[in-house]
Structure 1
Amino acid sequence: MTKPAPPGKAVREIVPGDSRWAELTHSDNHRFAIVPDRFVLPRKGHQVVAALQDAVDDRLEVSCRSGGHCGEDFIGAPRRNLVLDLCGLNRIAATDDGQRIRVEPGATVGEVQKALFRDWGTALPLGACSAVGMGGLVAGGGYGPLSRQLGLVADHLAAVEIAVVDEGRKVRAVTARADDDGELGELFWAHTGGGGGNFGIVTAYEFRSPAHLRSGGRILPKAAGGLNVQKIIYPWAMLDEATFATLVGRFFAWHEEHDRAGTPEASLFATFFLHHKSAQFLQLMVQSDADIDVGGAILAEFVAGLTEGTAVFGIPRGGLMTWLTGTRYMSQADCGDVMGARSASKSAYHRSAPTGDQLAVLYRHLTSDHPGQASYVMVNSYGGEINRRGSAATASPQRDSTAKSSWFTAWLDPAQDDLQIGWLRAAYEEFFAATGGVPVSGAATDGCYINYPDVDLKDARHNRSTATWHDLYYGANYERLRRAKRAWDPHDVFHHSLSIEL
């Protein structure tokens, strides 16, 4: 049943027995169940403060979620008494002074993209997964198909509103701004890539872009007049090991060559899905800004260069589309094999292309005898505007990579847990065998992305390097994040298996 809201309080509380309970007890990854005593679904920031104060007073375990797309068990473990589901905090509006755009954490990427375009003709470099909530995306730095042009999402952050718990266990709402000094300034900085679930509960973000990315008096960058878009299928039947290595190697090489910010090539973004052979194809998704890449010549040259001189040809779809239609066409919505699925993922930042031996490892695992219709390595464009800033400018330290990879597998049957996770671990750890099974910061790689969390990095059986989990995610920024944690969450109210440590 649902607990009725007290008079004057528009807050929903859902407890066992309610018809919505089963849905709320699972987020995106069905490997993990979330079974608190109750869920609270606030609609206003002050309701978050009140619910959090009650939980702190009663010494309850508490966590929150916005879109529910965390890949690890951060929301349900340790077992929580209370989960604040922020889906009702989803408003998007200009601030009263008209100088910033205010976005609440429960708004999804798709909702924000549409609102920014329809209300102001603007854009942010949001992710391609349209159902992801803004709360977690921004806290982890955030990147997407516009990031080579516009940088990380957190590079556009101007302020963060957050409910925090002080030394006296008093909950209060604070606003930390980009130009704040002292501890407030450190709290703001911590939210530019320090990860979710560490310092408090975000109730709103405010965005105002760097001046060199704005024009015409806008608060945020102007949305393009259109997008050149292509989705291209490469059937596995056309590929042998040599041609596979050629396509993947050329993808990396192009990004190493075209890494500078502000160039026409920086308007191009590509995602290469290297699906397991049981899925029967690889898929390239690529887009470019039609106002810059007029006629799509840059995109066409990039695509043609991948297969030039080989017997492989792609099966293309797409063309020139208007901005919002093109953005939606290229998005990765919640659908298909990931719906209701169990999953596991890993990540890596790449400063240079993999070696021939690494590509041979990848080929072998992608062509192995494995039920891997939803198993893949996704390689994404990186660099450009992202790399204009230094590694300490935000909490996200990876500022000189040219590509980013996500290693992923999904399945439905719990009996396949060991099989599927075993395949993922074996592929990833052998690929990075020369650096202890993980992408240690060095000439070729630069650690991992906190928004693709992986608890294996804390396990010496899988991370055999001398780099700790926080070295891989945060590098030299970790100690500064720890100082912010001690200042703003001294009782470690907000914690999970990869949270910042006191």
Structure 2
Amino acid sequence: MTQAPTRGGDQPLILSDKQGFDRRWFAPQLQAVYVPARHEQVEEYVGAALSAYGRDVKIASGRHCYENFVYNDSTRAIIDMSALSQVGFDAERNAYFVDAGCENWSVYRALLNGHGKTLPAGSCYSVGAGGHITGGGYGLLSRLHGLTVDHLTAVDIVTWDAAQGQAKLRHVSEQSGSQEERDLFWALRGAGCGNFGVIVRYYFAALPDAPDHATQFTLAWDWDQINKQAFSQLLDEYADFVMRMPNNDFSLLKLNHVDNGQIGLLVQIASPIGASFHQHCQQAEARIQSLQQRFAAIAPATVLRRPMGGHPGWMNTLHANLSAQHLTYLEALQTVNGSGPNQFGKYKSAYMNKGFPQNQKDEIFRWLHEKPEGLANSALAQSLLQVDSYGGAVNERSSSATPVPQRSSILKLQYQTYWNNASAPGQSRQSRYQEQARTHLNWIRGFYQAVYAEYGGTPNPEQDKNGVVDGCYYNYPDCDLGTHEDGKIDQAMQLYFKENYRSAPRNLVQVKRQWDPQDYFHHAQSIPIK
């Protein structure tokens, strides 16, 4: 058996092997990186890595994990899937495929240019398919086509039999011969992130046709024109706007901190299949005019003065006017195709089945004006609450069809804060940098807890008698919700997966116990075996 104790054969490890996309995460004890270049090598390397390093082996695709599940103090080996990055059509399996090492941009380009197809997946170009798809996957076409996992029909995955000391490459689907493999395939459609094995390739028997065109439009409001009453009206109007949107439309409302100076709204309108460019432009302009009229009474709109930050949809391109941009679909992908710079960040999420209650609107307004002591005046300019439109085709599936149970929400929220400093990789824990990090973390934690105070500090549907909130998104992991270490893992998993976690007839704990009974694939928020 060939072992790869260094990166790519005999090359020594390099500093960037130890660093995640988020500069908070670093693996100082890393000793080996396994880089399979062929599918059969994954089986070989998983066996070698787990035999040598046990639970201290982690799996990387695009390195974008929001928490330290891959890059942490205990990580000694990483299986880096980046060299497996093909996209295409497998004639033998009669399905499109995406390798786990692919990044979003490569997937979109290959499917669009080679096949006229697309995936309803994320907008950040460098996010890896390995974790993104199996965590659910959604993006600007999800209201039209559902989640990425709603189209997934098979997965190649390497599992580990600890009793036999053997790794095995498997092809699992709903047509698999055993119930255990069918259950594993179900679990991989929303909860596969480092829990059951090493995913090698995804298969899609059918994919949506890519739209020919997409129109993008941005509005902005200056914070000095938005008082508390206007802010409340803006959130009400936005929720109502989303509920009435055609499925072709998608929107991102970026509630930036007051340090930014503005609030931003992006709307994308995808052309219906078969519509001419002229027809699409006419329909899009009519919808945009209606949108402008809806919001005009709240506060005067203006142009964006700087790109809109945040994930997903880091906007590097500045729409410097109030006119719509009518684009080809590829151009539209490029416009919102940003992952942002490498910096430090913290994230939290929430699903909402209804618009914002008044107490939540009040807390959001208050915390977007909060200026923590010890930070520069503009330190929170990148910090925001992003409110994405949701629902549409996503909600056409049942809550048990995949592990993702949130199938009645209309809004998906992501709380975000960012900071940067001059620390060298792995040195950010020095005291002079820790105070900066602590202040940002305290701000976002206080913000989140205040918004959901009546539910115990999280968007817990079990504590919500009015059915407003619906838990959190596993692809936006947040260790504050609970971990194995703090004994609150059940609390976190329940927010991510609800009944699909433990209590449904088919559940994730059951699948984990079947496929990884000794818990080799383990991280702070991995599915437990008990």
The alignment's TM-score, normalised by the length of structure 1, stands at 0.89
Pick the aligned partner of 2:224 from 237, 244, 257.
Answer: 237
1:300 paired to 2:291: no
**Which position in structure 2 is the counterpart of 1:444?**
468
**Which position in structure 1 is the counterpart of 2:200?**
203
Alpha-carbon distance between aligned partners in 2 of 1:106 and 1:302, rounded to the nearest angstrom: 42
SS in 1 for 2:501: helix
Quote how far apart the aligned CAs of 1:169 are. Answer: 2.5
Alpha-carbon distance between aligned partners in 2 of 1:278 and 1:298, rounded to the nearest angstrom: 34
Equivalent residues of 2:58, 2:78 under 8 A apart: yes
**Which position in structure 2 is the counterpart of 1:423?**
443
Alpha-carbon distance between aligned partners in 2 of 1:303 and 1:49, rounded to the nearest angstrom: 53
Taking a change above 3 Å as real, the CA distance of residues 314 and 187 of structure 1, as seen in their structure-2 partners, is same
Q: 389-398 vs 485-494, which deviates more? A: 485-494
Alpha-carbon distance between aligned partners in 1 of 2:323 and 2:99, rounded to the nearest angstrom: 35
Matches within 5 A, 1:151-166: 151-166=146-161
**Which position in structure 2 is the counterpart of 1:363?**
365
SS in 2 for 1:232: strand
**Which position in structure 2 is the counterpart of 1:123?**
118
Amino acid corresponding to residue 247 of structure 2 in structure 1 = A
Alpha-carbon distance between aligned partners in 2 of 1:4 and 1:183, rounded to the nearest angstrom: 30
Equivalent residues of 2:7, 2:35 under 8 A apart: no
**Which position in structure 2 is the counterpart of 1:477?**
500
Matches within 5 A, 1:382-393: 382-393=390-401
Q: 155-164 vs 307-316, which deviates more? A: 307-316
Alpha-carbon distance between aligned partners in 2 of 1:189 and 1:283, rounded to the nearest angstrom: 37
- Indicate the percent of aligned positions where both proteins have the same amino acid: 28
Pick the aligned partner of 1:320 from 315, 322, 326.
Answer: 326
SS in 2 for 1:88: coil
Taking a change above 3 Å as real, the CA distance of residues 194 and 302 of structure 1, as seen in their structure-2 partners, is farther
Amino acid corresponding to residue 367 of structure 1 in structure 2 = H
Amino acid corresponding to residue 312 of structure 1 in structure 2 = P
Equivalent residues of 2:363, 2:451 under 8 A apart: yes
Alpha-carbon distance between aligned partners in 2 of 1:199 and 1:109, rounded to the nearest angstrom: 23
Alpha-carbon distance between aligned partners in 1 of 2:165 and 2:226, rounded to the nearest angstrom: 60
**Which position in structure 1 is the counterpart of 2:424?**
none
Matches within 5 A, 1:204-219: 204-208=201-205, 219=206
Equivalent residues of 1:408, 1:424 under 8 A apart: yes
Amino acid corresponding to residue 129 of structure 2 in structure 1 = M
Alpha-carbon distance between aligned partners in 2 of 1:33 and 1:120, rounded to the nearest angstrom: 39
1:188 paired to 2:185: yes
Quote how far apart the aligned CAs of 1:64 are. Answer: 0.7
Equivalent residues of 2:88, 2:97 under 8 A apart: yes
**Which position in structure 2 is the counterpart of 1:216?**
none
Q: 492-501 vs 59-68, which deviates more? A: 59-68
Equivalent residues of 1:190, 1:395 under 8 A apart: yes
Partner deviation per Cα, 1:176-220 (whole Å, 9 max, x = no partner): 013335011011101110141100000110112xxxxxxxxxx31
**Which position in structure 1 is the counterpart of 2:27?**
34
1:497 paired to 2:517: no
Taking a change above 3 Å as real, the CA distance of residues 169 and 299 of structure 1, as seen in their structure-2 partners, is farther
Residue ranges of structure 2 left out of the alignment (5+ in a row)? 304-321, 373-378, 422-432
The alignment's TM-score, normalised by the length of structure 2, stands at 0.84
**Which position in structure 2 is the counterpart of 1:380?**
388
Pick the aligned partner of 2:76 from 70, 75, 81.
Answer: 81
**Which position in structure 2 is the counterpart of 1:134?**
129
Quote how far apart the aligned CAs of 1:281 are. Answer: 1.1
Taking a change above 3 Å as real, the CA distance of residues 10 and 178 of structure 1, as seen in their structure-2 partners, is farther
Taking a change above 3 Å as real, the CA distance of residues 463 and 256 of structure 1, as seen in their structure-2 partners, is farther
What RMSD, in angstroms, separates the aligned Cα atoms of the two structures?
Answer: 2.5
**Which position in structure 1 is the counterpart of 2:339?**
334
Alpha-carbon distance between aligned partners in 2 of 1:407 and 1:95, rounded to the nearest angstrom: 39
SS in 2 for 1:266: coil
Amino acid corresponding to residue 453 of structure 1 in structure 2 = P
Quote how far apart the aligned CAs of 1:45 are. Answer: 1.9
Q: 436-445 vs 233-242, which deviates more? A: 233-242
Equivalent residues of 1:346, 1:406 under 8 A apart: yes
1:352 paired to 2:354: yes
Taking a change above 3 Å as real, the CA distance of residues 14 and 454 of structure 1, as seen in their structure-2 partners, is farther
Alpha-carbon distance between aligned partners in 1 of 2:349 and 2:287, rounded to the nearest angstrom: 26
**Which position in structure 2 is the counterpart of 1:179?**
175
Q: 148-157 vs 303-312, which deviates more? A: 303-312
Q: 312-321 vs 440-449, which deviates more? A: 312-321
Amino acid corresponding to residue 469 of structure 2 in structure 1 = T
**Which position in structure 1 is the counterpart of 2:91?**
96
Amino acid corresponding to residue 421 of structure 1 in structure 2 = L
1:109 paired to 2:115: no
**Which position in structure 2 is the counterpart of 1:214?**
none
Taking a change above 3 Å as real, the CA distance of residues 342 and 133 of structure 1, as seen in their structure-2 partners, is same
